[in-house]
Amino acid sequence: MTTDGRDSLGTDVKTKGFFAEPLHDYTMRSSGKPVTVLQAGCLAPLRELGIDELAEGGFEISVTAVDTDHPLAKRALEDARADYDDVIVGDLRIVPIRQRGYDIVYCAGLLERVEHVELVLDRLVSALKPGGLLLIRVRDRYTAAALLDRLLPGPVRKALWSRLRPGTPGPFPAVYEKAVCDAGIASYTLMRGLVIAARGTDLTLSSPPVRLSSSMRVTYAAISWLTRERFGDSHDELLYVIRRPQDQFARVV
């Protein structure tokens, strides 16, 4: 069930608690055992997992961060180093990540800016324990926001980033492989035997500066109209709670 009461495949949800609730439920079922989280992507808003609240309740949760060996990613991870128990950087297709070592893999702000998306997802899924959860927040390739991000010249992207996300390293490459969309994620989960437990969307640009955000939303609406809604403006990001099924024969390799 999504956070606004619609079924798990609803397409318009309030994102408050979307990831925090399944993490909370998973932690409650862990019988007091420490919960391990792998944060994939240096820009993932870790606060939306509600980890602080769980820690205040006496639950032990460790967080490891992983991202590409990119100067911006390394800078962002270094700035937030105190939030993590460990940090891993490298080529996400081959960087050493403990297989079946994490209860939760939280991937946000990453897939839209990397190549070989399915290979990267394979590494993240392999890091999950059987029964673990893969939480994905990704900008949908087939939205006006993503199209504009791909088409804008570098200096313009940099100027917008500094206004919309002051103090945050960026902008990162705008790759947006074809798999970075609802159909692509659905196909991936089907082929890998994963289960989509919840799906939602988010509409960003609701934060200051208000005038710039409003201008961007008008631009997105124009793109949507000009492309006959092939690149729509009803949402910017896709959200998923994906479960790796239990395997009674699972073992650490």
Task: Specify if 84 maps to a domain.
Answer: yes
Residue 32 belongs to a domain: yes
Q: Where are the alpha helices (DSSP H) in the chain?
A: 20-28, 51-56, 71-79, 117-126, 144-151, 154-164, 182-191, 210-226
Alpha carbon distance 144, 132 (integer Å): 33
In the three-class reduction of DSSP (H, G, I as helix; E, B as strand; rest coil), residue 242 is classed as strand
Residue 227 has a pLDDT of: 97
Tally of structural domains, the chain: 1
pLDDT digits (tens, 9 = 90+) for 163-196: 888 889 999 999 999 999 999 999 999 999 999 9
The pLDDT value recorded for residue 6 is: 35
Burial 155-185 (b: 16+ CB within 10 A, else e): eebeebbeebeeeebbbbebbbbebbbbebb
Instruction: Give me the CATH number covering residue 196.
Output: 3.40.50.150
Alpha carbon 175 to its chain's center:
15
Q: How far apart are CA 224 and CA 233, in angstroms?
A: 6
Residue 19 identity: F
Reference 30, options 106, 83, 85, 104; nearest CA is 104
- State which residues of the chain have pLDDT below 50: 1-14, 248-253
184 in a domain, yes or no? Answer: yes
| Sheet architecture: strand order including 128-139 | 86-89, 61-67, 35-40, 102-108, 128-139, 237-243, 195-202
Given this model, what pLDDT does residue 10 score? 38
User: Does residue 251 belong to any structural domain of this protein?
Assistant: no
pTM of this structure: 0.90
Confidence at residue 102, expressed as pLDDT on a 0 to 100 scale: 98
The domain in which residue 82 lies consists of 20-139+173-203+238-243
Helix (H, G, I), strand (E, B), or coil: what is residue 75? Answer: helix
Is 144 within the bounds of a domain?
A: no
Residue 5 lies in a domain: no
The 10 Å Cβ neighbour count of residue 128 is 22
Q: Is residue 124 part of a domain?
A: yes
CA-nearest of 174, 112, 166, 168 to 137 is 112
Could you tell me if residue 231 is inside a domain? no
